[in-house]
Every structure is written in structure tokens, then in C-alpha cells.
Amino acid sequence: MPQTYDFDLFTIGAGSGGVRASRIAAGYGAKVGVAEERYLGGTCVNVGCIPKKLLVYASDFGEAFEDAAGFGWGNLSSSFDWRTLVANKDREIARLNAVYERLLNSAGAKLIRQRAQLLDPHTVAVNGNRFTARYILIATGSWPTMPPVPGVELAISSNEAFHLSKLPGRILIIGGGYIGVEFAGIFRGLGAAVTQVHRGPLFLRGFDDDLRSALADEMRKRGIDLRFDTRLTRLERTAGGIAVQLSSGSGFEVDLVMCATGRHPNSAGLGLDQAGVKLDVNGAIVVNEYSQTAVDNIYAIGDVTNRKNLTPVAIAEGHAVADLLFGGRSRILDHESVPSAVFSQPPIATVGLTEAEARARYSAVEIYKSVFRPLKHTLSGRDERALMKLVVETKTGRVVGAHMLGPDAGEIIQGLAIAIKCGATKAQFDDTIGIHPTAAEEFVTMREKS
């Protein structure tokens, strides 16, 4: 007699990936349970992509008001109210939380708003209750990592940055990943004095070097104090704020310290060891190309696996798992040539290989690069430069990387990602007619090798 279970699929974590997997599985007729201890939508919806992008929009207005003068506009507002922004942001996030709940309910999944732990490969414990499941999916995401320095308890992570009661006047950001870079631009754009410290020689490791250095130049033009090859060594409370000590020997006082020093897989305390699920040295769940763990019936997706930690990737992974388990479709998700963006000021976006990666992989590559002043700033007078870059494999002529710094970089690179995914060549880029006048047309008009 076949084994019977309470659920066909039990998902731990109702972030974007977990919700997608649960909805698709339920759509195939599976009986699905979902446990979530915090907030629906996970990091992206609550303390990540969505609220961060809303804050970026807010921080853009200051420059927009300045730029408008060159186009004949005057007497524009220069006042800003942080509490109004946060309240409006919170209202939108609450709306999205409700949307996620409706999506699960309408799909027929059972949502349990409690923490879940594994007891064995087929059993989970939730708030004193036990449920059995044929398959279990771990989709618990990641969590901010704080540096082990004296006084770090005085600092906040990016989680708390979205809920500050007021906008501090002097802010120190520790870390050179995309979160630190984005918040440096947000806080500076809203009027704060910002210092950003990074332990390496240049921030945004993993992005193309030309983009990294060009963005550093643009951020400095905006008044952000970038300090590379520097570490935080100590924080102390003072009467006026927080005293900061750096490895360079310098010290100063700020009102707020935000640590953006990475994130770690949220895998602790889930009972994974009891079920036989294996972790790597960083606490990430080890999975194969189908997102299957060392235990045949347990799968894991998203940041908790530490593969490509992007929301659309987690969603695609979740969809693939549901298709595999309940839809009769076996497919391997391609983690290469995944486009990404940093919503800095100005933003950067990228898809495919960096120049350094391409040179390491291929015997010969060609580089095409364009640096120019965006048309808008010929009248605004702003000293800003855009950068566009194509990386081409010489032997085949195939474009293997596209990189951009400048307005609407994410929107433009998303389109190019399709071309690169399809294996487009530089000759095909050249044969494409541009839309004039746009910044995007530079990608089909670059002829001179760099």
C-alpha cells in the first residue's frame, strides 16, 4: 500500500521563490503547505528589491530638481520628509504582502504563519504540530552578516535601514557590495553626508572593472566619501552620535553606521542535520542541477543555496522544481548569462562575461567601449558620463558580455540579455538599426575596438 502524506509538497519559506514553487505545484494538483515565520514575499518584497527601488526613486528627485533649471523650470520644491516616504513605502509593501497571500490562497495552498523545522526527511514541526510531506522544499533565503568588530551592536543592517524613524545627517556605510553602493546613493541623494568604507581596492567585486572604476568616479562627483583598502576597527557611543575608528587610523563621528558586509544562507535552526541535508562551509545547502539536496525528496532554492542570489533566479528555480516534481517537465536552469543591475546613481547593469572573465576563458577577445555625456546633461550642465561596453569572442564574433553605466541601464541591458542568450554576434549588433536619439543606440553603433 503506497505511503500517504499530509501534503505532496511542504515549502519552508514564502519568499518569491517559495511562493512561485508552491503556486505552480498547487496548479498541477498537488496538495501544498507553506510555512513562513516573518513576512510574505521574503527579502525582496519587504527589505530588499522593492522598497530599495522606491527609495532610489525618492533620492533621484533632488538631482532632477537641480537639472530642471537648465530646461527652464524654476521654484521647484527642495524640502523632503523622510516619514512621509517611509509611510508610503510601508503602505505599498503591505499591499504586496496581501497580494502574495491571495496568490497562495487562490492556488489552494495552505499557509501557516509560523516557523517550521525538519524532524526527518518527510516530517516538519510547526508550532507544536507535525506534518508529513512527500517532498519538502527549503526556500528560506539569506540574512545580513555583521562584521566581528567591537561596538558593532551600535550599527544597523540593511534590514533596519528601511524603518528608520528619521533620516540621519551623517552616515557611514561599511561594505562594497551592491547593497552598500545603493544605500550610499540613496542616503546621499536624500541629503545626508555619506562615507563608504570597503576593505578592497575597489568595490563591486565581480562586476566589470571599467564599470566599477567609472561608478566610483561618478559617486565621488556626488559628494560621497569613498574609502577603499580600509576596514572598520571599532565603534563607540558618544554624546553626539557614534565614534568610528578605521584601519587607516582616522576617526570621526557619525549619526548612523550601516553594515552591508554580505549576507549568509538562512539555514541555521531548520533541523537540516536531522534530515540528512548537507551544507557547505558557508552554511549553504548543497544541491545538484535540479535543486535536489543530498536527501532525494528534499529540494532547496534561492539564496539559501548560494548559487546566483537574485530574486528572478529564485523564482525560476522554484518554478523548475514544481515542473519537475508535479508537471512532468525535467529541465536544468541555466545560471550563466543572468542579467543583473545595481541601482546606484547612476545605475549600472550587466549581462554575460566581464572583460577579465572573457580573457581568461577565450584565446582572443575584442572590446568595444563608448564613454559619452548623456544628452539630457547638455542642458542640465551636470558633469556625468555614461559608459557602454561590449565584450566579443574574436573566433566566433559572438557578443559574450554587455555592460553599462548610465540612466536606464537596467532597462537597456534587459533587452540585450535576450540577444546574448540567443548567441548574437557583433555583426548582428552592427546590422541592427538604432533608435535615435537614445543612449541604447550606442550598443549598435560602436565600431572602434578599444
Q: By percentage, how much of the chain surpasses pLDDT 90?
A: 96
273-297: per-residue pLDDT in tens? 999 999 999 999 999 999 999 999 9
217-226: per-residue pLDDT in tens? 999 999 999 9
pLDDT averaged over every residue in the chain: 96
Q: For the residues 402-410, what does the mean pLDDT come to?
A: 98
| pLDDT reading at 374 higher than 50 | yes
The dihedral sign for the CA sequence 397, 403, 408, 410: positive
| pLDDT reading at 241 higher than 60 | yes
The residues annotated with a catalytic role in the active site are 436
| pLDDT reading at 75 higher than 90 | no
27-60: per-residue pLDDT in tens? 999 999 999 999 999 999 999 999 999 999 999 9
pTM for the model stands at 0.96
171-180: per-residue pLDDT in tens? 999 999 999 9
CA pair distance 428, 398, nearest whole angstrom: 9
From 142, 119, 145, select the one nearest 132 (Cα to Cα). 119
298-347: per-residue pLDDT in tens? 999 999 999 999 999 999 999 999 999 999 999 898 898 899 999 999 99
pLDDT tier for residue 1 given thresholds of 50, 70 and 90: very low
For strands 7-12 and 32-35, give the pairing: parallel
Residues 6 or more apart from 41 whose CB is under 8 A from it?
14, 15, 16, 19, 50, 93, 96, 97, 100
Q: For the residues 79-101, what does the mean pLDDT come to?
A: 96
CA dihedral 373, 379, 384, 386 (to 10 degrees): -30
**Which pLDDT score, from 0 to 100, does residue 173 have?**
98
| pLDDT reading at 79 higher than 90 | no
Which domains, ranges and CATH numbers included, belong to the chain? 7-144+264-326 (3.50.50.60), 152-261 (3.50.50.60), 346-444 (3.30.390.30)
CA pair distance 212, 214, nearest whole angstrom: 6
**Which pLDDT score, from 0 to 100, does residue 2 have?**
58
**Which pLDDT score, from 0 to 100, does residue 77 have?**
74
